[in-house]
Amino acid sequence: MTEVTARAVLIDLDGTLVDSTGSIERAWARWCAERGADLTRVLQIMPGRTAESVFAEILPGLGPAEMAADADRLLGWQVEDTDGVVALPGAAELVAALAPAAWAVVTSGNRPLARARLAVTGLPLPDVLVTTDDVRAGKPDPQGYLLAAARLGADPADCVVVEDAPAGVAAGRAAGMAVLAVGPPAARDRLAGATWWVAGLDEIRARVDSGQVTLFAAA
């Protein structure tokens, strides 16, 4: 059993709190069909990253205006497509145990998409929600996590990040934060940069006492 105490818990959205795999893959498949891009390669590299960073790697010839327009369309398709989007096991219990001033969501999607997914899953909208609308660079850049910590009034060293993607793990570590990686055993190697790992949020318990959060998780 692993135990860590922190001032704030900063949580990724897609793949960590919610399962939005179907919506994400359908949107990327549509984009790849329109652009003639390799969907298999896209699905390998896109978890946790902004659309623009994926575009730059897959189709480096796209200009900034085209990238911005494509990113807007890609996110718009996902806002409209909430079919199969559900809260992951343990997500509701974890956030219900946390005081509003003790947690935030940090996502590579925009604000309308994050709000749509939280709403359809019944998860609460946090007081602090950091999206691509709030930062200049997305994960693996640490900006999002550092901004969330600042908005909660927490020192980065006194925060724990909960993530499911390598880019998010890298962002949390670059921010100087402990990182709890969430994913099946097959994902453990690619999440090796995390401080520790569990298979799912249902393995985590939280206790809040005197403004501090203690997370108990499998080692």
Q: Does residue 10 sit in the same domain as residue 117? A: yes
pLDDT at 188 over 90: no
Say if residues 22 and 84 touch (Cβ distance below 8 Å): yes
Number of structural domains found in the chain: 2
Residue of 14, 70, 141, 164 with catalytic role? 14
Q: How far is CA 43 from CA 20, 37, 126, in A?
A: 13, 11, 28
Pair 113, 205 in one domain: yes
* Overall residue count recorded for the chain in this entry: 219
Active site residue 14: yes
Helices and strands per DSSP (H, E), number in the chain:
8, 11
- Confidence band for 82, pLDDT divided at 50, 70 and 90: very high
Domain-terminating residue out of 36, 52, 80:
80
Q: Are residues 44 and 138 in the same domain?
A: no
Which has more pLDDT, 17 or 4?
A: 17
Boundary of a domain, candidates 57, 80, 103: 80
Query: What is the value of pTM for the model shown?
Result: 0.90
One of 12, 70, 141, 164 is an active-site residue; which one?
A: 12
pLDDT for 218: 56
- For 50, the domain range is 21-80
Q: Respond yes or no: is residue 12 known to be catalytic.
A: yes
State what percent of residues in the chain have pLDDT above 70. 99
DSSP letter, residue 114 = H
Q: Which of 1-15, 79-93, 200-214 has the highest mean pLDDT?
A: 79-93
> What Cα–Cα distance (Å) separates residue 8 from each residue in 60, 141, 156?
38, 19, 9
Confidence grade of residue 191 (pLDDT, cut at 50, 70, 90): confident
My answer on whether 70 and 132 are in the same domain is no
> For residue 10, what is the domain's CATH number?
3.40.50.1000
pLDDT of residue 91: 97
Q: Are residues 94 and 129 in the same domain?
A: yes
